[in-house]
Amino acid sequence: MRQEQLRILLEDMTLKEKIGQLIQLSGDFFKANDISYGPREKLGISQEMVDYTGSVLNVAGAKATKEVQEHQMKVQPHHIPVMFMSDVVYGYKTIYPIPLGMGATWNPQLVKLAFEAAADEASAGGIQVAYAPMLDTVHDARWGRVLESPGEDPQLNSIYAKAMVEGFQDKLAEGKGVVSCIKHFAGYGGVEAGKEYNSVDMSISNLFQNYLPAYKEAIEAGAKMVMTSLTSLNGVPSTADQWLLNDLLRKTWGFNGIIISDYASIYELIKHGFAQDSSDAANKAINASVDIDMKSPCYANNLSKLVTDGKLDEKKIDEATWRILCLKNDLGLFEDPYRGASETREKECLLSTNKRKLARKIAATSLVLLQNKNEVLPLHKNTKIALIGPYGASHDLLGMWAVHGEAKDSVSIEEGLRQYFSNVKVEKGTDINRDRKIFEEMGFFTEKQIKDIISPEAIEKENNRKALSLAQDADVVILAMGENTLEAGEAGAKTNLSLPDNQVQLINQISKLGKQTVLLIISGRPLALHNVIDKVDAVLECWFPGTEGGNAIADVLSGNINPSGRITMSFPFTAAQEPIYYDHLSTGRPLHGSQHVGRFVSKYLDAPATPLYPFGFGLSYGHIDYEQLTLDKNELTRQGQIRAEITLNNTSDWDRYEVVQLYIRDQVATIVQPVKRLISFKKVLVKSHNSCKVDFIIKPEQLAFYDNYGCQILESGKFTLFIGSNSRDCLAQSFTLLD
Ligand code: NOJ
pLDDT category of residue 716 using cuts at 50, 70 and 90: very high
**Helix axis angle, 278-287 relative to 314-330, nearest 10°?**
60
Check whether residue 152 and residue 186 sit in a common domain.
Answer: yes
pLDDT category of residue 40 using cuts at 50, 70 and 90: low
Closest CA to 84 of 104, 105, 60, 108: 60
Check whether residue 396 and residue 471 sit in a common domain.
Answer: yes
Helical H segments across 140-293, by residue range = 154-169, 204-206, 212-220, 242, 268-271, 278-287
Quick one: which atom of ligand 1 is closest to the CA of 37?
A: 11
Residue 467: CA atoms inside 13 Å, Cβ hemisphere, count?
28
Residue 534 forms part of a structural domain: yes
Helical H segments across 350-500, by residue range = 353-366, 413-418, 436-442, 447-453, 457-472
Region 344-352 average pLDDT: 97
Q: Is 187 helix (H, G, I), strand (E, B) or coil?
A: coil
Quick one: which atom of ligand 1 is closest to the CA of 58?
A: 11
- 510-547: b (≥16 Cβ within 10 Å) or e: bbeeebbbbbbbbbbbbbbbbebbebbbbbbbbbbbbb
Region 26-38 average pLDDT: 76
Identify residue 690 by its one-letter amino acid code: N
Distances (CA, A) of 484 to 99, 397, 435, 524: 17, 10, 12, 9
Check whether residue 661 and residue 543 sit in a common domain.
Answer: no
Residue 599 forms part of a structural domain: no
Identify residue 233 by its one-letter amino acid code: L
Check whether residue 331 and residue 396 sit in a common domain.
Answer: no
262 is catalytic: yes
Q: Which residues contact 384 (CB under 8 A, 6 or more apart)?
A: 423, 473, 474, 475, 476
- Ligand 1 pocket: which of 260, 265, 490 to mutate (most atoms within 8 A of CB): 490
Identify residue 44 by its one-letter amino acid code: G
Q: Residue 294: beta bridge partners?
A: 24
Among 345, 370, 385, residue at a domain's last position? 345
Q: Residue 380: beta bridge partners?
A: none
- Ligand 1 pocket: which of 59, 131, 225, 293 to mutate (most atoms within 8 A of CB): 131
Q: Are 55 and 347 in contact (CB under 8 A)?
A: no
Residue 604 forms part of a structural domain: no
Cα 644 to Cα 695: distance, rounded to the nearest angstrom? 5
Cα 269 to Cα 9: distance, rounded to the nearest angstrom? 32
Q: Which residues contact 290 (CB under 8 A, 6 or more apart)?
A: 228, 239, 240, 245, 259, 260, 261, 266, 320
The predicted pLDDT at position 42 comes to: 76
Helix (H) or strand (E) holding 301: helix 298-308
The predicted pLDDT at position 38 comes to: 59
Mean pLDDT of all residues belonging to the chain: 97
Q: Write down the catalytic residue from 87, 136, 153, 262.
A: 262
Q: Are 725 and 660 in contact (CB under 8 A)?
A: yes
pLDDT digits (tens, 9 = 90+) for 677-705: 999 999 999 999 999 999 999 999 999 99
Check whether residue 335 and residue 406 sit in a common domain.
Answer: no
Identify residue 47 by its one-letter amino acid code: Q
Check whether residue 196 and residue 325 sit in a common domain.
Answer: yes
Check whether residue 332 and residue 374 sit in a common domain.
Answer: no
Q: Residue 705: beta bridge partners?
A: 713
Q: What percent of the chain has pLDDT over 70?
A: 99
Cα 505 to Cα 499: distance, rounded to the nearest angstrom? 10
pLDDT digits (tens, 9 = 90+) for 493-537: 999 999 999 999 999 999 999 999 999 999 999 999 999 999 999
pTM: predicted TM-score of the whole model, two decimal places: 0.98
pLDDT digits (tens, 9 = 90+) for 439-451: 999 999 999 999 9
The predicted pLDDT at position 37 comes to: 59
Residue 608 forms part of a structural domain: no
pLDDT digits (tens, 9 = 90+) for 261-302: 999 999 999 999 999 999 999 999 999 999 999 999 999 999
Helix (H) or strand (E) holding 260: strand 258-260
Q: Are 91 and 114 in contact (CB under 8 A)?
A: yes
Check whether residue 652 and residue 536 sit in a common domain.
Answer: no
Check whether residue 367 and residue 460 sit in a common domain.
Answer: yes
Tell me, using a 6 A CB cutoff, whether residue 183 lines ligand 1. Answer: yes
Residue 574 forms part of a structural domain: no
Tell me, using a 6 A CB cutoff, whether residue 490 lines ligand 1. Answer: yes
SS3 per-residue string spanning 525-586: CCCCCCCCHHHCCEEEECCCCCCCHHHHHHHHHCCCCCCCCCCCCCECCCHHHCCCCCCCEC
Identify residue 345 by its one-letter amino acid code: R
Of all protein residues, the one whose alpha carbon is nearest to atom 3 of ligand 1 is 262
CATH number for position 138: 3.20.20.300
Instruction: Give the distance (Å) from ligand 1 centre to CA of residue 665.
Output: 37
Tell me, using a 6 A CB cutoff, whether residue 263 lines ligand 1. Answer: yes
Residue 578 forms part of a structural domain: no
- Chain centroid offset of residue 670 CA: 33
pLDDT digits (tens, 9 = 90+) for 393-426: 999 999 999 999 999 999 999 999 999 999 999 9
- DSSP string covering 435-463: -HHHHHHHS---HHHHHHHS--HHHHHHH
Helical H segments across 181-277, by residue range = 204-206, 212-220, 242, 268-271
Helical H segments across 596-649, by residue range = none
Region 717-726 average pLDDT: 98
DSSP annotation of 484? -
Its domain, for residue 412, covers 351-567
Check whether residue 34 and residue 154 sit in a common domain.
Answer: yes
Check whether residue 388 and residue 336 sit in a common domain.
Answer: no
Among 345, 374, 405, residue at a domain's last position? 345
Check whether residue 336 and residue 357 sit in a common domain.
Answer: no
pLDDT category of residue 433 using cuts at 50, 70 and 90: very high
Cα 544 to Cα 530: distance, rounded to the nearest angstrom? 21
* Long-range Cβ pairs for the range 433-439 (8 Å, 24+): 433/483, 433/484, 433/487, 433/500, 433/502, 433/503, 434/460, 434/500, 434/501, 434/502, 435/500, 435/501, 438/484, 438/487, 439/484
Among 292, 320, 345, residue at a domain's last position? 345
Per the structure, how many domains does the chain have?
3
Strand order in the sheet with 624-631: 624-631, 642-650, 690-698
Give the E-state strand segments of 375-428 in sequence order: 385-388, 424-427
- 286-312: b (≥16 Cβ within 10 Å) or e: bebbbbbbbbbbbbbbbbbebbeeeeb
- Return the ∠ at Cα 564 (arms to 561 and 568), rounded to 5°: 145
Q: Is 464 helix (H, G, I), strand (E, B) or coil?
A: helix
Is residue 39 pLDDT above 60, yes or no?
A: no
Residue 36 forms part of a structural domain: yes
Q: Are 135 and 161 in contact (CB under 8 A)?
A: yes
Tell me, using a 6 A CB cutoff, whether residue 401 lines ligand 1. Answer: no
Of all protein residues, the one whose alpha carbon is nearest to atom 10 of ligand 1 is 263
CATH number for position 681: 2.60.40.10
Cis peptide before 71 (omega within 30 of 0): no
Residue 562 forms part of a structural domain: yes
Instruction: Give the distance (Å) from ligand 1 centre to CA of residue 86.
Output: 9
Cα 544 to Cα 533: distance, rounded to the nearest angstrom? 20
Q: Is 197 helix (H, G, I), strand (E, B) or coil?
A: coil
The predicted pLDDT at position 449 comes to: 94
Instruction: Give the distance (Å) from ligand 1 centre to CA of residue 685.
Output: 38
